[in-house]
Structure 1
Amino acid sequence: MNDKLPQQVAATFAADGALATAIKGFNRRDVQLQMAAAVSESIVSSDNLVVEAGTGVGKTFAYLIPALLSNKQIIVSTGSKNLQEQLFYKDLPALLMMLGITAKAALLKGRNNYLCQHLMEKELSGASSMDTQILDDLLRINQWAGQTLDGDLGGLTSVSENSAALPLINSAKETCIGQRCDHYDVCFTRKARNRAMDAQVIVVNHHLFLADRIIKETGFAELLPDSDVVIFDEAHLLPDIAVTYFGQQCSTRQIAELLEKLIEIYQRELRDAKQIEQLSARCLTFLNEWQQALFAVGDTDWRRMIGNKELAALSWGLLSELASLQAMLQSHVGRSDNLDDALEKLQQQTGKLELFFLCENNQAAYSIDYGHRYLMLRIAPIDVAKECKKLFDANVAWIFTSATLQINQDLSLFTKQLGINNCKQLLLKSPFDYANNALFCVPRQLANVSNHHAIVPQFVEVCVQAIEAAKGRTFILFTSHRMLNLVAVALQRRVSYPLLVQGQANKQTLLKKYRQLGNAVLLGTGAFWEGVDVRGRLLSCVIIDKLPFVSPDDSLYRARSESIAMEGKDPFTEISLPQAVISLNQGVGRLIRDEKDRGVLILCDNRIVNRPYGQAFLNSLPPMARTRDLTQAVRFLEQIN
């Protein structure tokens, strides 16, 4: 135990300390030192700590410095790839140099973030029958593959993040053939794992951390060590991500690909077993008919759909066909490694499918996500607090931090969601001068946000006025892709500044272009509400279309609501409102990123001022000056140099 850690940390932040020596113009922030001291105490005593640190506190240095000086093994888990990369490529190297520490660090992402050389080779071999656009993207990826050192698809900028080629070539447990692969020795996923095994500081994301702790069969089993310190940055995302990992998912795409692989195995290896092709093709037909039936209904709640007799018959018919196929494949076990592998994976997927069809767990929501051609079937627990409690080993220092954890200055909602009982709680406000540097405007006379015909032209008009006053330099954040697309089309005819729309390229490419242009307008949904850091005059205005309430049709929300109602509580105040407050705070946090930043936040939703619950939002926002007059907001923007 390093009992001197608090003193070492304080010395690092002192006027003559390592930070002041290395950083020109370094100004010590009391709130940052307060957080660093709390993190130090947590590490020394192995106590849990929950900290909300407002924008500008400098929480990254406040937790990394004590962690590095402790000489203990550290896992830092983030909610976004953007922060994960910033920590690994920027913050950690800088601090290690400042502190004079030598420590091996590793960046590890989920396997689907890495290029699979085997799949790349396989896809290019079938290029003659491929869509032209997909082939073009594959050739670009292949060119990049010859240059990349780590195979991390996050570094790929030559194709859109929505490219149909990406799912064909990213690493996945379902398609991995292990040591039988010709590329095993140079596999990007395998090399990333090996680097992590030998590291003192491992930077992961919440998805990977939970997968490793909860679902050992993910392919990253027991990769992460039982470290001394685990720090969750962007911790506000943990409860929702935990729902995914304590539940189950089944992708119909994976089932379809396994059936297609079986047909390929017949054609290439087992030509004497015609039944493999016949029964696999029959299962594919049943799967497609079942999917089409679901698409025709379009409901996301499986509990509501299972009452449909025709759909129920199709569902159990599909399972019966899959069972027949597997029974037949058993007679060929041992004849082909590829067949044995496909059969094992098909059995796993069929088991998940049956579990979903049975719909037996009353404490879970059963939902369907509709893709372009395929479905994702999800079983999500209503309450993950009990499961989360098992994660937090008493001998480990668990530290949770984010800029947005509180509701009405209270952290208990977050701790309750994760089942964190004994922990120190700390609320640290931003040191920025919001009152003078930021203006919050909710324009008067806006239509009801549910009235699309009226609100879209009004919203576009607000955007045009703000964009012109800000000379571009604007983020427009949306709660739905539909609204984003409507506004994007309208603004193209009204605005002369460059428009960057989510989906045109990947997130980092769009942000890079935004910074380079200097006068652009960026339109985005959830991905751009958080984990985005644009400082100075480059971003003068953030416009939000409406309060980010979860859809009442969301199956998990409905299941949680029913459970809360049975306890005699109000689902809106217990679930919907707190989630929306956190989400809005994230969007608002894009505006003021530095002490000299100035800007205007415009929210086009009157509910924040004319509904009683609006006060919960206002109490949780930074202390910005407020106005209902759009003209005043426009004048403020015009004065920003």
Structure 2
Amino acid sequence: MKRASEYLSLTGPFCEQIDGYQVRDNQLALCDAIDNAIEAGNVLAAEAGTGIGKTFAYLVPALLSGKKVIISTGTRHLQDQLFHTDLPRVTKALSVQSSSALLKGRSNYLCLHRLKLAPHLGFINRETRSILTEVDEWSKSTKSGDISELSSVAEDSYVWPMVTSTADNCLGSECDSWEKCFIVNARKAAQAADVVVINHHLLLADMTLKNEGFVELLPEAEAFIIDEAHQLYDVAARFFGDTVSSRQLISLARDTVAEQVNDASDMVELRDYAEELEKAARDFRISLGESGLRDAWLKIQKKPSVKQALDELETALKDLITILEQAAERSRGLEQCCERAQIIMARLKLFQKEYSTDDATQSVLWYETYTKSFMLHVTPIDVASIFQAHTNNFSNSWLFTSATLQVNKQFSHFANNIGLENFESGVWDSPFDYEKQSLLYLPENLPQPSDPDYTKQLMQSAIPVLTASQGRAFVLFTSYYAMYKARDYLKQMLPYELLVQGDLPKHQLLETFRQTKNAILLGTSSFWEGVDVRGESLSCVIIDKLPFASPGDPVMQARIDAIKQQGGQPFMEFQVPQAVITLKQGVGRLIRDVKDTGVVMIGDPRLKQKAYGRIFLNSLPAMPVTSDVKDVEQFFNPVQSADDANSGIAETV
């Protein structure tokens, strides 16, 4: 029997059938390691360098195994690419009879019941009615119900939440549209398929049985492949917690009104109590203060205005529950609104309890505010034990893969975060020649990042780099404040077009960058990973500082406190490793192809001045390092004088 890697070799079908396919030794080795893990039912953590072709390396053994395999990715974009592009190519090349299914989160599918309710919502204006009419027409022809099909309606349109469901408001098998439900049909297709492409949210939903009423996928699976596994910890932390949001409350109020119009027109008090709840939610938002806050609940729970507004919100919700209990027998929709209200009430009561700092050992309560909305969160501090408890229920093969799993050449940080034990691990390096294709520039004489003048001085150091690269750069920041400050400085100093995060939707900003010669794109966290720009359009990546999470962040602070209580060192055990993973992702934006070349500039002087700086450098690709800007100029302009030729490059990471 052929080894899986033979299909990817020079004599295999991929060389014959796929244009541009190149055999990579490390891809073949990774493919065999994954094949062995799936066959033996083992757990494997695999760091696969950028450009190695890890998708083909796991799809080939997955399809050849004959087992039911679930592949989980970090984003919908990766899901679509995997399902619509990569899977068909591999299936065809292997000539296997294997069925596959794509399954997204419920918010990606049209809900026929909510579409029917939407016109009865009292706040509908003419524009909204027009969009709803368009959605209704599309609903009659779509087979999947995937809202991405209707490209004429913006992805972030306010209409989509009106016509898609949540775990809270889904009626389940008692819905009159159950037989035609797009989510139900998608899950049935997934249950029947050999290979199912999902995302991390759905993986965790199935794992914790939060999709009750639907067919669960995990008990049927024989192998799990977790791509972009470095994201799993953060997703799990959010998912294993609970949330109360203004959107949940207002949606409950408006759904109650819509159900009342349909099934309890004589109970006008339902509308009155629903409107009171919506008002109380808005008043509570006002009590929390300005927009953009993200802080521990403990800090404001005793504030009189907040306590009063929370009491009034709880009273309004309690009153609505009382009347809903009387109306519940009128319809399944009203009964479900009552159940939703009771669930929200249980969560809300967590924020009414008296807490002290000594209580914050299991979970952290925190809040965040937006212009017109709020979210209250309960987030577990220890994700590892929860994730481990669930994965232990499935004695299957697990593959965790990403380009950024290791910190300082070790997997311990990743394994500890998700409770991984008794696993195999391996590193399959990128085929890129970083010593020839790239250069790492660490400028000298910059102040500490805490210096008020830091961003300006950093940009002054960046000017000759951006001039040498002729724009064609990403400048990545750890805060919006620094990004805007840099924008104001750079637009006066450089002739190149500046594209700034927030000016356009992300996909439009990237497309403009690709099509605009010599552009410079300024971005924050969402541009540090998951962005692929190949060729000369991107020849320089500048990173403003080491991407440590803010110690003032309530979740980070709770984790720091928990590690201290256990006698650990949170900075070295958690904060540094988390920042290393993020930095590796940011640096990884530059070289995306064997033909790419470019310079990475990291301005933070702590890389050279602090002992932990070596951990960051040891975790990066083996790039030549310099602190002389002349080396940068020489990199972009190889034609040099004899004097320039003697400057040399000091070392390699």
Match of 2:647 in 1: none
Give per-residue Cα distances to partners, 1:385-430, cap 9 Å, x unaligned.
2221223245310111111111110101111221111111112222
Deviation string for 1:313-343 (max 9, x for gaps)? 4434432332233123322221244322211
Structure 2 match to 1:43: 38
More displaced stretch, 350-359 vs 422-431: 350-359
The answer to whether the aligner puts 1:306 opposite 2:301 as a matched pair is: yes
C-alpha spacing 1:191/1:580, structure 2 compared with 1 (3 Å): same
The 5-angstrom pairing of residues 52-91 of structure 1 reads 52-91=47-86
User: Structure 1 residue 193 and structure 2 residue 192: aligned?
Assistant: no
Structure 2 counterpart SS, 1:587 = helix
Instruction: State the match for 1:632 in structure 2.
Output: 631
1:256 maps to 2:250: yes
2:475 is paired with a residue whose SS is: strand
Give 2:344's aligned residue: 349
Matches within 5 A, 1:474-553: 474-488=473-487, 490-492=489-491, 494-517=493-516, 519-553=518-552
2:92 match: 97
Kept in 2: contact 1:500–1:510 (CA 8 A) = yes
Aligned to 2:334: 339
- In 2, are the aligned partners of 1:215 and 1:245 still within 8 Å (CA)? no
What is the identity, as a one-letter code, of the residue corresponding to 2:444?
Answer: R
- Deviation string 1:156-200 (CA, Å, 9 cap, x unpaired) is 665665554554444433444567878766654344333323211
Partner of 1:213: 207
Match in the other structure for 1:608: 607
Partner of 2:284: 290
d(CA) in 2 for partners of 1:361 and 1:409? 33
Q: Is the 8 A contact 2:34 2:44 kept in 1?
A: yes
Deviation at 1:94, TM superposition (A): 1.0
* Aligned counterparts of 1:512 and 1:286: Cα–Cα separation in 2: 43
Shift of the 170–461 alpha-carbon distance from structure 1 to 2, 3 Å rule, reads farther
Report SS of the residue matched to 1:401: strand
Q: Distance in 1 between matches of 2:605 and 2:131?
A: 44
Q: Look up the SS of the partner of 1:391 in the other structure.
A: helix
CA distance in 2, matches of 1:115, 1:509: 25
1:558 is paired with a residue of what secondary structure?
A: helix
Contact kept? 1:8, 1:69, Cα under 8 Å: no
Flag the 1:171–1:461 CA change in 2: closer, same or farther, 3 A: farther
Instruction: Classify 1:264/1:56 alpha carbon distance in 2 versus 1 (closer, same or farther; 3 Å).
Output: closer
Distance, in Å, in 2 between the alignment partners of 1:540 and 1:46 is 42
Where does residue 225 of structure 2 map in the other structure?
231
How far off is 1:480 after superposition? 2.2
Equivalences, count: 633
Query: Is the Cα contact below 8 Å between 1:211 and 1:218 reproduced in 2?
Result: no
Deviation at 1:582, TM superposition (A): 0.3
Secondary structure of the 2:352 match is helix
Equivalent residues in 2 for 1:360-379 (5 A)? 362-379=361-378
2:242 matched to 1:245? Answer: no
Residues 330, 135 of structure 1: CA spacing in aligned structure 2 closer, same or farther, 3 A cutoff? closer
Deviates most, 346-355 or 202-211: 346-355
Partner of 1:323: 318
Q: Are the aligned partners of 2:4 and 2:35 in contact in 1 as well (CA < 8 Å)?
A: yes
Aligned-partner Cα distance in 1 for 2:214–2:371? 29
User: For 1:471 and 1:127, how far apart are their aligned partners in 2?
Assistant: 54
Aligned CA distance change for structure 1 residues 268 and 389 (closer, same or farther; 3 Å): closer
Farther off after superposition, 200-209 or 260-269:
260-269
Pick aligned residue for 1:12 from 7, 13, 19:
7
Q: Distance in 1 between matches of 2:130 and 2:626?
A: 51
Q: Give, in angstroms, the shift of residue 118 of structure 1.
A: 5.5
**Matched residues in 2 for 1:125 and 1:472: separation?**
52
Could you tell me how far apart the structure 1 residues matched to 2:214 and 2:175 are?
18
Partner Cα distance (1:427, 1:526) in 2 = 26
Q: 2:630 & 2:150 partners in 1: Cα distance?
A: 43
Contact 2:69–2:195 (CA<8 Å) still a contact in 1? yes
**Quick one: percent identity of the two aligned structures?**
38
Q: Which residue pairs with 1:402 in the alignment?
A: 402
Q: What is the CA–CA distance in structure 1 between the aligned matches of 2:368 and 2:90, rounded to whole Å?
A: 42
Q: Is the 8 A contact 1:57 1:430 kept in 2?
A: yes
1:181 and 1:506 map into 2 onto residues whose CA distance is 36
| Matched residue SS, 1:426 | strand
Q: 1:281 to 1:441 in 2, by over 3 A?
A: same
Change (3 A) 1:50 1:403: same
User: Residue 216 of structure 1: SS of its match in structure 2?
Assistant: coil
Moved more, 602-611 or 299-308: 299-308
Report the secondary structure of 1:255's partner residue. helix
Contact 1:212 1:221 in 2 (8 A): no
Q: Quick check: 242-251 or 475-484, which moved more? A: 475-484
C-alpha offsets along residues 524-543 of structure 1, whole Å, 9 cap, x if unaligned?
32222212222222321112
Aligned to 1:591: 590
| Root mean square deviation, CA, Å | 3.2
Amino acid at match of 2:348: L
> Which amino acid in the other structure matches residue 80 of structure 2?
E
Q: 1:484 to 1:169 in 2, by over 3 A?
A: farther
Distance 1:131 1:608 in 2: 56
**1:69 Cα offset (Å):** 1.1
- Given that 1:157 and 1:509 are in contact with CA atoms closer than 8 Å, whether structure 2 keeps it comes out as no
Higher mean C-alpha deviation, range 627-636 or range 394-403: 627-636
Counterpart CA distance in 2 for 1:127 and 1:264 is 8
Deviates further, 398-407 or 218-227? 218-227
- Aligned partner letter, 1:252: S
Q: Report the TM-score when normalising by structure 1.
A: 0.89
Q: Which runs of 5+ in 2 are unaligned?
A: 640-653
Matched, 1:384 2:378: no
Q: TM-score, normalised by structure 2?
A: 0.88
Q: 1:195 to 1:468 in 2, by over 3 A?
A: farther
Q: Say which is worse superposed, 382-391 or 581-590, in terms of deviation.
A: 382-391
**2:454, 2:153 → 1: CA distance?**
34
From the superposition, tell whether residues 197 and 59 of structure 1 become closer, same or farther in structure 2 (CA, over 3 Å).
same
Q: Which amino acid aligns with 1:481?
A: Y
**Whole-Å separation in 2 of the counterparts to 1:520 and 1:117:** 44
Q: Which residue of 2 aligns with 1:446?
A: 446
More deviation, 361-370/218-227:
218-227
Q: Does structure 2 retain, via aligned residues, the 8 Å contact 1:50–1:424?
A: yes
C-alpha distance in structure 1 between counterparts of 2:105 and 2:13, whole Å: 35
